[in-house]
Amino acid sequence: MKPERTVLVTGCSDGSLGSALALAFHAAGWRVFASARNVSKMAVMKENGIEQVELDIQSSESISRAVETIQAQTGGSLDALINNAGLGYSMPLMYTDMGALRQLFELNACSNVTIPRAFLPLLLASKQKKTLIANNTSGMGMLGCGMPFQGGYSASKAEAASLTESLRMELAPLVFKSSISLQVE
């Protein structure tokens, strides 16, 4: 019998891309850990029997608790990480609140390092031949893709794409087949 594959999907609030991804993995037979800052916003996950984990990607304490929870429930391994949580922001650059801009970079870019780093020991313990980290980036993050009122968002996604490419190359010598960017518009 083929061993059950496990995946953590971040950003799974109802109606989100993360929710759709979690449902798709679940339908394909994976054991899914769906996460969001607020578990009560994942009613669809609960209705479908998908395990829910509270995870605020901006809180090191929350990240540590999520790692411990998944480690305990899986025996210490994870086969895939779909790093989807993020934030949109639309504002003319000249009126952009710098605190909001910093939060945008923290959520959309820095989490592409902090979340894989936190779950790396579990991913390395996977018994699967291929282990996956997928970070959600955007076509808006391509260099030269400046859009009015989307400068902060585009810049955060450009940083996310660059960090993801570096992560892919750095993890290649380990057991990872690939680390990819999900570009969804």
What CA–CA distances, in Å, run from 87 to 26, 106, 137, 182? Answer: 24, 10, 11, 15
Task: Say if 36 falls within a structural domain.
Answer: yes
With respect to residue 24, please indicate whether it lies within any of the assigned structural domains. yes
H or E stretch covering 37: none
Q: Which tokens belong to 18?
A: 């993360």
Q: For position 2, what pLDDT does the model report? A: 54
Number of domain units in the chain: 1
CA dist 90 and 96 (Å) reads: 9
Domain for residue 1, yes or no? no
Q: What is the pLDDT of residue 150?
A: 83
Beta bridge partners of residue 68, listed in sequence order: none
User: What's the rounded Cα separation, in Å, for the pair 123 and 91?
Assistant: 38
Ranges of H-type helices in 7-150: 17-27, 43-47, 60-74, 98-105, 111-124
Q: Which residues have a catalytic role annotated?
A: 153, 157
What pLDDT score was predicted for residue 15?
Answer: 94
Place of tokens 């031949």: 129
Query: pLDDT tens per residue, the chain (185 residues)?
Result: 455 899 999 999 999 999 999 999 999 999 999 999 999 999 999 999 999 999 999 999 999 999 999 999 999 999 999 999 888 888 999 999 999 999 999 999 999 999 999 999 999 999 987 888 888 776 655 666 677 888 888 888 888 888 888 888 888 877 555 545 555 44
In a domain? residue 38: yes
Q: Using CA atoms, how far apart are residues 165 and 181, in angstroms rounded to an integer?
A: 8
* 134 alpha carbon, distance to own chain's centre: 7
For residue 35, the enclosing domain spans 6-183
Q: What is the CATH number of the domain that holds 167?
A: 3.40.50.720
pLDDT of residue 79: 96
Does some domain include residue 140? yes
